[in-house]
């Protein structure tokens, strides 16, 4: 029973450290300035695109179909 408990504890500890939920907060960005700048640019670009993704998901980027006039698509007069 002790071996099983020890193996389970070791496995949980390895998974916790590998998944990033360690009790000690590890640095998210690199210490080297050029690499850290590149990582920050990538993160900010991803966050900037969230608004457009949200609108696309909820179809808010499309024109409204509640108008009596045709706004896009198909053949019209």
pLDDT of residue 76: 55
Residue 25: its pLDDT value, please?
62
DSSP state at residue 76: -
Whether the model pTM is above 0.75: no
Domain ranges for the chain = 2-57
Burial class (CB in 10 A: 0-12, 13-18, 19+), 67: exposed
Q: Give the pLDDT of the chain (77 residues) as one tens digit per residue.
A: 888 889 989 888 777 766 655 556 667 888 899 999 998 888 888 777 888 888 888 888 776 666 666 666 666 55
| pLDDT computed for residue 29 by the predictor | 84
Radius of gyration of the chain (CA): 25
Alpha helices in 1-77 (DSSP H): 2-19, 33-48, 50-57
């Amino acid at each position: 029973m002790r071996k099983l408990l020890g193996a389970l504890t070791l496995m949980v500890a390895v998974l916790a450290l590998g998944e990033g939920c360690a009790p000690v907060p590890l640095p998210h960005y690199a210490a080297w300035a050029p690499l850290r700048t590149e990582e920050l640019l990538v993160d900010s670009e991803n966050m900037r695109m969230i608004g457009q993704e949200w609108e696309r998901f909820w179809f808010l980027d499309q024109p409204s179909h509640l108008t009596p006039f045709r706004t896009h698509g198909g053949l019209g007069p």
